[in-house]
């Protein structure tokens, strides 16, 4: 955190994904947008001042508000299948400062793609090859070029204005920021009693088996540092994807913060989720992911009395928790000058 504090009013040019130590993702599967295809080469990162002295790379910031700037680039992945009527509402809530929007089209038969392009000419459209939300997210994540990836539904139930809370949790030290409708400050006007019960039972199982303290297992609003994508190893196709990510994040020892989130009812159209069918898929994942033998996933040394993972609402977090290996880099989330 030795970088100088920059005022949002003195924002400088942004670096490419290489600046985060990652190669740019191939854009072969994507169409539209300019985010990864027309970006100019990184300006003068290896250039030298007169006299051959290496020029120090300038910090890069994204203005969020007059009082706040962030350094990491935020990719927003939106899985959408026949959501043309909802996209105007969803896109209207997405913050100006996000680096890119990646819409993953599930071979929609309505105008989903056309509407997305009309609303955001710079949107990157990925057409999934397979079927299902899990398959869609996997394709969308692979196409991202940002440092942080946020996943958000396209049915109008999630508020893009909450993205800053997820980003805030990540830059404050979390590896994985998990939305929760049941953490303090969260809520849902959409969830049915049956889904609530199923979510609670399945969440209870996960907490018992994997040593987590999740308050909301099956929720589609989450964010994480892109560098952890491989550790999540998403290899499922359906609505069990959030459960798989939550379990894999815990098994990988990622530091997890829950972020309170409010879910509204889907605005137009019908749900693609079937409580029983998809509940069983979630259950299968929970059982398949359990460690072989009888051992539960437990907090590891050096301080086994404290959980390595925190599933507590932010802000606040748990300052007593040790930093995980994948701890956030020195990023900036400060008041502007
Ligand atoms: N690309 C793609 N997106 C999908 C697919 N299935 C669901 N989605 C999207 O995933 C998000 C969540 O799906 P929903 O049908 O809203 O499921 P849900 O949120 O559990 O159910 P409700 O909110 O009650 O309707 C929405 O944005 C869907 O358009 C799919 O097969 N492919
Ligand atoms: Mg929904």
| Per-residue model confidence as pLDDT tens digits over 278-322 | 999 999 999 999 987 554 555 443 333 334 444 444 433 333 333
Closest to 135 measured CA to CA, from 105, 114, 158, 90:
105
Name the domain count of the chain.
Answer: 1
Q: What is the mean pLDDT of the chain?
A: 79
Domain contains 113: yes
Contact 137 CB / ligand 1 (< 6 Å): no
Q: What is the pLDDT of residues 142-181, one digit of tens each?
A: 999 999 999 999 999 999 999 999 999 999 999 999 999 9
Domain holding 106, by residue range, is 61-320
Closest residue by CA, ligand 1 atom 28:
80
Contact 79 CB / ligand 1 (< 6 Å): yes
Contact 81 CB / ligand 1 (< 6 Å): yes
Higher pLDDT: 28 or 311? It is 311
Domain contains 326: no
- Measured at the alpha carbon of residue 74, what is the angle toward residues 69 and 77, in degrees to the nearest 5? 150
**The domain spanning residue 260 has which CATH number?**
3.90.550.10
Neighbours of 76 (CB within 10 A): 26
pTM assigned to the model: 0.77
Which pair of structure tokens corresponds to residue 294?
A: 């009888």
Which pair of structure tokens corresponds to residue 45?
A: 């990162």
Higher pLDDT: 336 or 68? It is 68
Domain contains 12: no
Closest residue by CA, ligand 1 atom 29:
80
Quick one: pLDDT at residue 48?
Answer: 43
Instruction: Point out the ligand 1 atom lying closest to the alpha carbon of residue 153.
Output: 27
Tell me if residue 258 falls in helix, strand or coil: strand
What is the four-CA torsion angle of 82, 83, 85, 86, rounded to 10 degrees?
170
Neighbours of 87 (CB within 10 A): 26
- What is the C-alpha separation between 85 and 104, in angstroms, rounded? 16
Contact 160 CB / ligand 1 (< 6 Å): no
Instruction: Point out the ligand 1 atom lying closest to the alpha carbon of residue 105.
Output: 1
Domain contains 15: no
Contact 128 CB / ligand 1 (< 6 Å): yes
Domain contains 36: no
Kind and range of the H or E run holding 178: strand 176-180
Domain contains 67: yes
Domain contains 328: no
Spell out which residues have Cβ within 5 A of ligand 2, the ion.
153, 155, 157
Domain contains 17: no
């Amino acid at each position: 955190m030795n970088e100088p504090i920059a005022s949002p009013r003195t924002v400088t040019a942004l670096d490419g994904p290489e600046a985060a130590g990652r190669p740019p993702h191939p854009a072969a599967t994507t169409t539209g947008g300019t985010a990864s295809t027309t970006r100019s080469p990184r300006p003068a990162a290896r250039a030298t001042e007169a006299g051959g002295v290496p020029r120090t790379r300038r910090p890069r910031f994204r203005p969020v508000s007059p009082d706040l700037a962030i350094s990491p680039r935020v990719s927003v992945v939106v899985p959408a299948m026949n959501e043309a009527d909802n996209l105007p509402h969803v896109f209207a809530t997405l913050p100006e400062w996000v680096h890119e929007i990646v819409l993953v089209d599930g071979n929609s038969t309505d105008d989903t793609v056309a509407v997305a392009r009309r609303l955001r000419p710079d949107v990157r459209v990925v057409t999934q090859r397979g079927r299902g939300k899990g398959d869609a997210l996997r394709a969308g994540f692979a196409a991202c070029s940002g440092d942080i990836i946020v996943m958000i539904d396209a049915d109008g139930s999630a508020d893009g204005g909450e993205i800053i809370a997820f980003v805030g949790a990540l830059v404050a030290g979390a590896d994985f920021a998990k939305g929760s409708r049941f953490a303090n400050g969260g809520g849902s006007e959409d969830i049915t009693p049956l889904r609530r019960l199923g979510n609670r039972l399945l969440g209870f199982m996960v907490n018992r088996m994997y040593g987590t303290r999740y308050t909301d297992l099956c929720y589609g609003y989450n964010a994480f540092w892109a560098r952890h994508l491989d550790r999540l190893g998403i290899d499922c196709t359906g609505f069990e994807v959030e459960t798989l990510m939550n379990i894999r994040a815990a098994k990988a020892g990622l530091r997890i913060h829950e972020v309170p989130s409010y879910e509204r009812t889907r605005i137009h159209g019908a749900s693609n989720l079937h409580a029983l069918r998809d509940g069983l898929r979630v259950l299968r994942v929970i059982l398949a992911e359990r460690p072989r033998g009888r051992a539960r996933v437990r907090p590891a040394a050096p301080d086994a009395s404290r959980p390595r993972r925190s599933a507590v609402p932010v802000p606040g977090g748990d300052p007593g928790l040790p930093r995980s290996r994948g701890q956030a880099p020195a990023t900036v989330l400060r008041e502007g000058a």
